[in-house]
Amino acid sequence: MRIYFMGICGTAMGNAALLVKEQGHEVLGCDAAVYPPMSDVLADAGIAVLDGFDAARLAALKPDQVVVGNAMSRGNPEVEWLLDQSEITFISLPELFHDTVLPKRCPVVITGTHGKTTTSTIAAYLLERSGAKPGWLIGGVPHDLPGGAKLGEGKAFVIEGDEYDSAFFDKRSKFIHYRPQIAILNNLEFDHADIFRDLEDVQRSFRHFLRVIPASGYALVNGDDPNIAALLPAPWTQVVRVGVGEDNDLQITNFQDAPEGAQFDLFWKAKHWAHVAWPLHGLFNARNAAMAALSAALASDHQDPRDFDLSTLADFQGVRRRQDVLHSDDSWTIVEDFAHHPTAVAGAIEALRAAYPDRKMTVCFEPRSNTAASARFQAEFQKVLSGADRVYFGAVHRANSMHPEERLDTSMMANSLPDAKAFDDNQSLLKTLKMGVSNEAHGLIVFLTNGSFDGLPHSLAATCSSVR
């Protein structure tokens, strides 16, 4: 088939295009902004990427099928042309996976408000190191895998199960399409304020997801999360609880965190499975590891998960932009993290405190996601950010598109914190940071954002490298 990807430069769309080409289909696509690194990756794979949207051009290409990215909407010239055609099928990206990539596989679907990328990466890494030859689709850049997507030869296929909607014509969450055989429900909180009304609305999608797990499958759930407990029971499938509480089937015990990394023990049904010592920090990452380890063991058909070797976790280096150290010397350490929800911000600060106990922590927070930029979690953000020694607020993303009472008031938050400042633009924040690294002796600067923060993290890291 000739398959055309509308919006191909997104991480998920681009990686999906690579997988479909690997299956033998002819693949091409377009995007409004053709930019690296994805444009380079696609070019290296021999996939043509066209700039912009052009209905006449699309008509001349005569594709057999069009994959419509969830960033596309009515009014786009190619969308409007496509809807008038009767001989060309169009589907969402999740539908493509349902129909093309996942049949005859054992999909390991990782869901949750936080930690999907890291947990997916750990699961794929463990399966790859075990010789299972898995496939995967990961929405990030793993340090220990050759890329974010691989078709694989083995039975298991690891995929992030995003609760965001599938396309403008399909408002179901993406994970509904992913044929879960082994499903992880790692945590559940309100997020994606642009498509969900409240927590109950999010839970409704997760209930639908639970409903499509077969009787022979597994739902690995966070046994310590009351928002997930509210979804249970699910008697039609096999439910396994994972967490720190004593009533969990897989229990995390003896957790300790230190500058060199964290360590903990895993007990499967009260029997010791493994002692894990690895470079990552934070109890939340220990939970990610426990979930991933159990999913990998089950996907490998181990009757007793304890037979699955976890020793390779000692070498795991994580995912880019998750506690990612951009610069470190005796004076300054610059870290970038993807945290953009109060719970994730709290976890990041706690983990980095353990990693750098002797350094004054400056947290630079960019309210960029639809949820973070809104006023919904203002009190929660203020509380968790008080765990830093100093807080700098970047510009609120698309602030002018929201009424003042609906958007996060960073000035009010800065006035309520002991040492904080809110900036109207990110370049002013960068100027202040550069003055700080020149005038102060040492410290830890942490950038928290789900976007690029206008390049500030890498710009500051380059400054520190040039002046030290």
pLDDT digits (tens, 9 = 90+) for 326-383: 999 988 999 999 888 898 899 999 999 999 999 999 999 999 888 888 888 899 999 9
What total number of domains does the chain contain?
A: 3
Provide the percentage of residues in the chain whose pLDDT is more than 70: 99
Same domain for 309 and 328, yes or no, is no
Same domain for 363 and 216, yes or no, is no
Same domain for 10 and 137, yes or no, is no
Q: What is the pLDDT of residue 154?
A: 96
- Domain boundary, last residue among 315, 342, 358: 315
**Average per-residue pLDDT in the chain?**
93
- Domain boundary, last residue among 290, 315, 340: 315
Name every residue whose Cβ is closer than 8 Å to that of residue 389 and which is 6 or more positions away in sequence.
360, 361, 362, 419
Backbone dihedral angles phi then psi of residue 241, each to the nearest 5 degrees: -95, 135
Same domain for 272 and 356, yes or no, is no
Statement: residue 81 has pLDDT above 80: yes
Statement: residue 30 has pLDDT above 60: yes
Buried b (16+ CB within 10 A) or exposed e, 322-332: bbbebbeeeeb
Same domain for 155 and 304, yes or no, is yes
Q: What is the pLDDT of residue 467?
A: 64
Same domain for 442 and 377, yes or no, is yes
Statement: residue 466 has pLDDT above 80: no
Residue 379: helix, strand or coil by DSSP? helix
Residue 227: helix, strand or coil by DSSP? helix
Same domain for 92 and 153, yes or no, is no
- CATH code for the domain in which residue 356 is found: 3.90.190.20
Closest CA to 33 of 16, 15, 14, 57: 14
- The range of the structural domain enclosing residue 66 comes to 2-96
Same domain for 58 and 173, yes or no, is no
Verdict on whether the full-model pTM lies above 0.85: yes
Same domain for 401 and 294, yes or no, is no
Same domain for 208 and 152, yes or no, is yes
Same domain for 111 and 38, yes or no, is no
Q: Which residue has the higher pLDDT, 456 or 38?
A: 456
- CATH code for the domain in which residue 263 is found: 3.40.1190.10
Q: What is the pLDDT of residue 17?
A: 94
- CATH code for the domain in which residue 40 is found: 3.40.50.720
User: Tokens at residue 230, please?
Assistant: 């509210």
User: Tokens at residue 225, please?
Assistant: 């999360």
Closest CA to 267 of 284, 285, 244, 283: 244
pLDDT tens digits for range 138-180: 987 788 998 889 999 999 999 999 998 999 999 999 999 999 9
Q: What is the pLDDT of residue 160?
A: 94
Residue 433 CB-half CA count within 13 A: 34
- Domain boundary, last residue among 276, 293, 315: 315
Same domain for 270 and 405, yes or no, is no
